[in-house]
Structure 1
């Protein structure tokens, strides 16, 4: 056991010695014409550690994976995601199988990552399947995915994982990495030759024993049946038919010198080799170095730890410090000027099969070879700032800081004008044979003479402003771009000697119209006319869009630091190439590649990676790894989950994309293109929405439909509840209304009954009052009648008394004159008759009846209180009640007044009245 650990420690130290310290200082590599586009990812970009030990790509999603010293890195084309192993172990190896499982290995740990239902990678450890107790001290450095197995290895152990079981292999000793070559698998035993993995066993490969003194760091296919073997410090070997042969070509010598560490077969029979000390070499099968890239050419680090090729043919390199992507098949090819010989190109022209560059150092030319190493020559006398190169009538004219010159085929330098600062020379289509030039001090006019030579004619008066550019529209209107103050529209006199009209404009209208015609959004820095009807739009972020009227659009990513600010220029060299002027060199864009790029971009659509739902302090998300999972998901969110963040990416693209988006249901217009790969929406209303995103690569878009449910009080059930509640309320209100109506009716009825009762009572009282008044009137009438009766009685009695008196007198006289007996009898009869009338009981009955009607209960109450009263007493009391005097009573009683007083006396005694009491008042009050 002790020996094993010593050997393992020794091997680990040996590998690191070979990787980091075994190489001599690397010399400067050759800089070849037209270098590919390189994109750098620093540890600040991917938020990991420096070293990236292994790289691979998931072909189903297009995501790239890197085994980093901090963990597993995932790149979806836009953003990086870090996943940590248990115990925060370093991820030394990573590989992806056909089902999308990402296998990783580290110190004492192997397993795989797989997306769960939410789309997040979840780790599944396989360590529990290993019975070797020493495995906890082993570190997995290599993983190879076969057709039906996964191979894990450290330098001293190896395992085969298949059908859910883990099998430990018997090794011929300590080994280096296993390599897959056309479905066959090879590795080297340290200090020995090569072995092939056959049916789970390692079989020695004959003829490879001579590799024992070195370390094999790559095995690649060579032809149809051979192997290309890259070693650490012995260069390249070929192996065919059991024979191992060293290769002596240039690539082998360079790899021997720079120390080969990784190798990869590229399409077209080419190879990429990662070295310890000088970056990457790309060669063909004959050993010719086609391209080399090191820190000098744009790599972040010269030590290459891993290599992989993505589906788009781009080479990814995991470095000792960072990750770099090299787009070999990208149509833009760069020429850099590391030594500063040429300077900064401002213009270029292809003239007589020579490429002329106008730079801040002068005019340089070389034979135009789209491939190979250019050799530049300086035009003597052209030293200084060159602004413009223009070919007119097969004459090459140069606008220079010191004037304007003609360049001849033999390299001659002829001055045409001493007007300084020849910025732009433009032939006038409306005036053939004339050209207009913008300079530091205004406009100059050139004219073609009789021999066809262009000569300087005169300066245009009326304009002394610095003019950088000149356009002429279809109507013959001339537009000038001022060096600082925008654009002017001018008209010249017929002799082209002075400015007849002058008008300022914020921009050239044709450029704005072209932007609208092609439906572009986002900021556009410059617009260039290309071959035929092609238009080239330079975006604010530095990307280039080539558009045609037939709908073709192709986007090209350009490093943002490449352009020379405010002096950007794109030159159509001929029908095959555009030349892009950069600050430190230039690039060629082949026109035939525009359609290829367009077709490639059509197959690459943006992917909505995540929908994050922010609800207070809580957050949940929907994560998508491919278009199928996106289509299969229709998020339904609660009303409170209306704060959303969408994150999107463009897989399988190393160029930094631009995105445009919209939320159908909220806005119908696309946003401007932006590098920002996420969009946040807050306080969305309930409803159905469709989030759409597209990239600058194509107008096709990716959609995610989702729905925000209304709050419970706006749901269907709530509306049904509202309906039933409304119906209930209507019924209740109807019921309450009916009760209120009934109550009101009852109240009204009661009020009416009460009012009726009051009215009846009032009427009753009125009737009573009327009856009372009637009774009173009756009483009054009866009283009057009684009084009249009484008075009649009185008068009658008075009359009778008078008659009696007269009869008495007559009696006396008769007694004197006639026979007494006869007369006396008649007179007595008369007196008797009168007496009977005076004391008629019938009169008293009539009087008593009328008296009782007027003075009801008088006699009854009087008799009840005084029982000893006689009828005469009652009669006297009645007369006294009527307030008759004694004289009147005497006449009614047919007695004397003295007799009345006597009766009054007797009545007072029966009534027990006090002497001072008034009998009349007593009777009237009784």
Structure 2
């Protein structure tokens, strides 16, 4: 027993000197939930689902999401099966499914199937076997058939601690009764060994010849037909001392065991300890509640305080000196079976492949700058001088001043050149020992980077430039010293590679041109970095394969000799500076004995790169969600859009947020994303680790959001896209444009009409004014014409009147004369019968109407309307009455009228009287005045 305990502590101490694969830790503040995580699983979409005290955690490689427990209780179990994520809580179990918006929606099977549960029942394990889903509480096992929505129950006589599926068979442990399996729906006792009655079974694994049982306090046991026997492996004392809580069998055949107080133990298939993962080695917490191996062989650990995952198959491993015993590594070298680390605290060593601690080489305490293996000798450039290292011993061969570097001197294998704090010096080999031969006089500058071409020594000084030191044949003094100040750069460096001298700093790589005696930009290596600038000018040459190592900000570049055309081959190792935590300007590279393995120094240890494991693999990118927000919404209010179909948004919903993920979990090589918005931003954005893209105040139009990912230099196999349309506002739709066109046409027509009417009115007013002026002129002319006509008429009237008066008077006179003639004839020849014919002729002349007709014609010319008005007013008048009226209108007296009728004046008076009566005139109404008014 004492030997086992001693072995346990020896192993435990040695583990802390191991190189461990990358570990990524997440704290509760990272994922936004409670500290305890009870179960881990992975879905078809490669997302990680974790049962947390607060609910279901979802991790997509870039961001976390939390779905709180539907009943506000602790989620104890989770299992991804098909497109469903099954989970178990306090007094409830069910499944989650994604809707068209990418959001998980929960369905409670206990409520859906109306399952009567035991009080205070919690579901600790979910398994799948032959299409059935198994939910286990401490009191029952529920067997759910998704095809017909049925549930069968296995009641517990005693508490059921855990259930297991091994080779398609369901096993479970009843407390105090042993381990059982289910056959044909019935439970069959497998073993009731005392260990299995008292100790909790953590897991059961299948191995050739039987089962392998892991218990909480007693370690591993083999379950054979003949009984239970302990599996005697070195790790059992550790497991017993730390109490096991969880365990899984890895696909490679090994095991991962989680403990309550010592973290996790990685065992190989034979039970040998590969590594221990605890807080000292980088794990987030020492209590491992859940273990899960994902599709890419990452091991996820649900911890009592946080979540971690380990990438055992990673090409990277890391030694992190958390205790500060080793320090920052400035140089590394594998030599004669030992691995040496030159740090700011001294030179440390251990055997290659050992899991033990690094030890300090006696006498080397202090800053180590370089480790140069030349032939079979290892030289250490130290702050106090130069050492030759043999195993765990260090022999100081130069204590003059600090040494930056030791290098070969071409053409003389017995001499070496040293770059010192205060210049250059020569080492000479005498027998098997090296000693200082001389210092090169005439050059006293700090010589951190030294290279020799022919007899010229090139020294790079970061602040002064590149010195060219020509020496005498014995390298005892500097014959000439020149300095090229055209290239001065902080963290710059020079190195010989492929027979050429290279200079590098942040702006690129330059090659020395001997003919021009100057450094020119290297056209062959300029494509190495692309658009990335050198992080520093530190370069390393691997003599085993003649490769050149360069350090960029986002990657390390390995340049190998090219093909027949001479073009170099470049391998990009995506290891960013922030991940490798290197010492900028002092990057160190050590070649390890295993082919393809290299050591790179960091500020607190080192990293190991295994190029044999570095093989980029295909991966895809997917959209996680599309959220849109409108300016009219209150702050914080947002909505999700359906991912599977094209989006249609109103002009107010023009603020969009896109989330995306790759589902790849690669520590030290986080996914980088690049996106563009076709229709708005046609160019790809810069690469970024940000897995979200936001666009604000997008104008109406058609768009396609595209995003792709990169891990290292490997692009995603697809480009995720999301087409969408932001509609025009209602006042800019086609209908409204048609209405606008119609309104514009109508407005144009109205304006045209108004203008036309205006100008027409104006024209009409002008025409009216002109017409008025014309009419006025015409009226004046007409008045003049009328006046002239009236004057003429008056003249004609006077003439006619005169003619009428003359005619009337002529008739009167004629009649008077005839009457006198008749009277005289009658008086003189009263009795004579011979005058009777004359009297008849006179009477006949007096009685003819010719005079009247002549008078009427003249009267009509002077007063043509009177007779018509008279007839219209008094149609009953006789022609004689009308004749009398005409005479009266001429204002003739009865005496003047009498001759015209050939009657006496008395008879005329009688006619006038009769005429008045016919006209109905009053007694006092004047007949002549009446006739004059007609």
TM-score by length of 2: 0.69
Match of residue 837 from structure 1: none
The structure 1 residue matched to 2:88, chosen from 102, 105, 122, is: 105
In structure 2, the CA distance between the partners of 1:259 and 1:379, relative to structure 1 (3 Å rule), is closer
Match of residue 702 from structure 1: 719
Match of residue 625 from structure 2: 610
Q: 1:651 aligned to 2:663? A: yes
C-alpha displacement at 1:471, in angstroms? 8.3
SS at match of 2:35: coil
The structure 2 residue matched to 1:570, chosen from 583, 586, 589, is: 589
SS at match of 1:212: helix
Whether the aligned pair in 1 keeps the contact of 2:213 and 2:222 (CA below 8 Å) is: yes
> Which deviates more, 133-142 or 25-34?
25-34
SS at match of 2:270: coil
C-alpha displacement at 1:160, in angstroms? 1.0
The structure 2 residue matched to 1:304, chosen from 288, 293, 300, is: 288
Q: 1:579 aligned to 2:579? A: no
In structure 2, the CA distance between the partners of 1:415 and 1:772, relative to structure 1 (3 Å rule), is farther
Whether the aligned pair in 2 keeps the contact of 1:196 and 1:204 (CA below 8 Å) is: yes
In structure 2, the CA distance between the partners of 1:82 and 1:775, relative to structure 1 (3 Å rule), is closer
SS at match of 1:726: helix
Whether the aligned pair in 2 keeps the contact of 1:662 and 1:668 (CA below 8 Å) is: no
Alpha-carbon distance between aligned partners in 2 of 1:196 and 1:156, rounded to the nearest angstrom: 16
Whether the aligned pair in 1 keeps the contact of 2:626 and 2:641 (CA below 8 Å) is: yes
Alpha-carbon distance between aligned partners in 2 of 1:255 and 1:165, rounded to the nearest angstrom: 41
Structure with more helix by fraction: 1
C-alpha displacement at 1:63, in angstroms? 1.4
Match of residue 815 from structure 1: none
Match of residue 385 from structure 1: 367
Q: 1:634 aligned to 2:646? A: yes
Match of residue 588 from structure 1: 608
Match of residue 661 from structure 1: 674
What is the number of equivalent residue pairs in this alignment? 735
Alpha-carbon distance between aligned partners in 2 of 1:673 and 1:409, rounded to the nearest angstrom: 47
Alpha-carbon distance between aligned partners in 2 of 1:547 and 1:669, rounded to the nearest angstrom: 31
Whether the aligned pair in 2 keeps the contact of 1:26 and 1:258 (CA below 8 Å) is: no
1:780-859 equivalent positions in 2, closer than 5 A: none
C-alpha displacement at 1:587, in angstroms? 2.3
SS at match of 2:123: coil
In structure 2, the CA distance between the partners of 1:172 and 1:366, relative to structure 1 (3 Å rule), is same
Q: 1:726 aligned to 2:741? A: yes
In structure 2, the CA distance between the partners of 1:646 and 1:146, relative to structure 1 (3 Å rule), is same
Whether the aligned pair in 1 keeps the contact of 2:139 and 2:155 (CA below 8 Å) is: no
Alpha-carbon distance between aligned partners in 1 of 2:417 and 2:781, rounded to the nearest angstrom: 125
Match of residue 692 from structure 1: 707
Alpha-carbon distance between aligned partners in 2 of 1:765 and 1:559, rounded to the nearest angstrom: 110
Alpha-carbon distance between aligned partners in 2 of 1:296 and 1:96, rounded to the nearest angstrom: 32
Match of residue 424 from structure 2: 444
CA deviation vs aligned residue, 1:575-608 (integer Å, no higher than 9, x gap): 62221112332222112122x2x22xxx233433
Q: 1:248 aligned to 2:247? A: no
The structure 1 residue matched to 2:330, chosen from 341, 346, 366, is: 346
Whether the aligned pair in 2 keeps the contact of 1:461 and 1:499 (CA below 8 Å) is: no
CA deviation vs aligned residue, 1:70-113 (integer Å, no higher than 9, x gap): 2221111122222222331011111121x221111122111111
Match of residue 683 from structure 1: 697
In structure 2, the CA distance between the partners of 1:764 and 1:325, relative to structure 1 (3 Å rule), is same
Q: 1:555 aligned to 2:568? A: no
Whether the aligned pair in 2 keeps the contact of 1:639 and 1:708 (CA below 8 Å) is: no
The structure 2 residue matched to 1:122, chosen from 92, 100, 105, is: 105
SS at match of 2:613: helix
C-alpha displacement at 1:426, in angstroms? 6.2
CA deviation vs aligned residue, 1:639-693 (integer Å, no higher than 9, x gap): 2222222223331305262533232434455444444332322222333132324
Q: 1:153 aligned to 2:136? A: yes
In structure 2, the CA distance between the partners of 1:145 and 1:238, relative to structure 1 (3 Å rule), is same
Alpha-carbon distance between aligned partners in 1 of 2:11 and 2:334, rounded to the nearest angstrom: 35
Q: 1:179 aligned to 2:194? A: no
In structure 2, the CA distance between the partners of 1:764 and 1:439, relative to structure 1 (3 Å rule), is farther
C-alpha displacement at 1:209, in angstroms? 6.2
Alpha-carbon distance between aligned partners in 1 of 2:760 and 2:345, rounded to the nearest angstrom: 110
C-alpha displacement at 1:447, in angstroms? 7.8
In structure 2, the CA distance between the partners of 1:385 and 1:120, relative to structure 1 (3 Å rule), is same
Match of residue 73 from structure 1: 57
Match of residue 900 from structure 1: none
The structure 2 residue matched to 1:423, chosen from 382, 386, 404, is: 404
Alpha-carbon distance between aligned partners in 1 of 2:112 and 2:779, rounded to the nearest angstrom: 116
C-alpha displacement at 1:518, in angstroms? 4.7
The structure 1 residue matched to 2:346, chosen from 319, 340, 362, is: 362
Alpha-carbon distance between aligned partners in 2 of 1:71 and 1:775, rounded to the nearest angstrom: 121
Whether the aligned pair in 1 keeps the contact of 2:532 and 2:552 (CA below 8 Å) is: no
1:469-488 equivalent positions in 2, closer than 5 A: 469=449, 480=460, 482=462, 488=465
In structure 2, the CA distance between the partners of 1:416 and 1:462, relative to structure 1 (3 Å rule), is closer
Whether the aligned pair in 2 keeps the contact of 1:416 and 1:456 (CA below 8 Å) is: no
C-alpha displacement at 1:610, in angstroms? 2.1
CA deviation vs aligned residue, 1:335-368 (integer Å, no higher than 9, x gap): 3456655443210123345433212333334443
Whether the aligned pair in 1 keeps the contact of 2:674 and 2:688 (CA below 8 Å) is: no
Alpha-carbon distance between aligned partners in 2 of 1:172 and 1:423, rounded to the nearest angstrom: 76
In structure 2, the CA distance between the partners of 1:350 and 1:218, relative to structure 1 (3 Å rule), is same
Whether the aligned pair in 1 keeps the contact of 2:213 and 2:220 (CA below 8 Å) is: yes
Alpha-carbon distance between aligned partners in 2 of 1:477 and 1:706, rounded to the nearest angstrom: 63
In structure 2, the CA distance between the partners of 1:407 and 1:723, relative to structure 1 (3 Å rule), is same
Flag structure 1 segments of 5+ consecutive residues without an equivalent: 1-23, 625-629, 777-863, 869-926
SS at match of 1:383: coil
Alpha-carbon distance between aligned partners in 2 of 1:520 and 1:197, rounded to the nearest angstrom: 62
Alpha-carbon distance between aligned partners in 2 of 1:164 and 1:460, rounded to the nearest angstrom: 93
In structure 2, the CA distance between the partners of 1:640 and 1:457, relative to structure 1 (3 Å rule), is farther
Alpha-carbon distance between aligned partners in 2 of 1:496 and 1:713, rounded to the nearest angstrom: 87
Match of residue 758 from structure 1: 773
Match of residue 118 from structure 2: 135
In structure 2, the CA distance between the partners of 1:472 and 1:512, relative to structure 1 (3 Å rule), is farther
Match of residue 325 from structure 1: 309
SS at match of 1:751: helix
Alpha-carbon distance between aligned partners in 2 of 1:263 and 1:232, rounded to the nearest angstrom: 10
Whether the aligned pair in 1 keeps the contact of 2:87 and 2:94 (CA below 8 Å) is: yes
SS at match of 1:262: strand
CA deviation vs aligned residue, 1:178-217 (integer Å, no higher than 9, x gap): 0111212211111122111223332211575662232211
Alpha-carbon distance between aligned partners in 2 of 1:734 and 1:132, rounded to the nearest angstrom: 77
The structure 2 residue matched to 1:517, chosen from 527, 549, 557, is: 527
CA deviation vs aligned residue, 1:383-431 (integer Å, no higher than 9, x gap): 32111112345553322102234446895524247232x3345669999
In structure 2, the CA distance between the partners of 1:459 and 1:55, relative to structure 1 (3 Å rule), is same
Alpha-carbon distance between aligned partners in 2 of 1:521 and 1:169, rounded to the nearest angstrom: 65
Whether the aligned pair in 2 keeps the contact of 1:219 and 1:263 (CA below 8 Å) is: no
> Which deviates more, 72-81 or 699-708?
699-708
Alpha-carbon distance between aligned partners in 2 of 1:236 and 1:518, rounded to the nearest angstrom: 53
The structure 2 residue matched to 1:189, chosen from 155, 171, 174, is: 174
Match of residue 46 from structure 1: 31
SS at match of 2:33: coil
CA RMSD after TM alignment: 4.5
1:524-563 equivalent positions in 2, closer than 5 A: 525-526=535-536, 528-529=539-540, 531=542, 532=546, 535-539=549-553, 552-556=571-575, 560=579, 562-563=581-582
C-alpha displacement at 1:37, in angstroms? 1.7
Alpha-carbon distance between aligned partners in 2 of 1:683 and 1:79, rounded to the nearest angstrom: 25
Structure with more strand by fraction: 2
Flag structure 2 segments of 5+ consecutive residues without an equivalent: 1-7, 472-477, 493-503, 510-524, 561-567, 792-888, 894-934
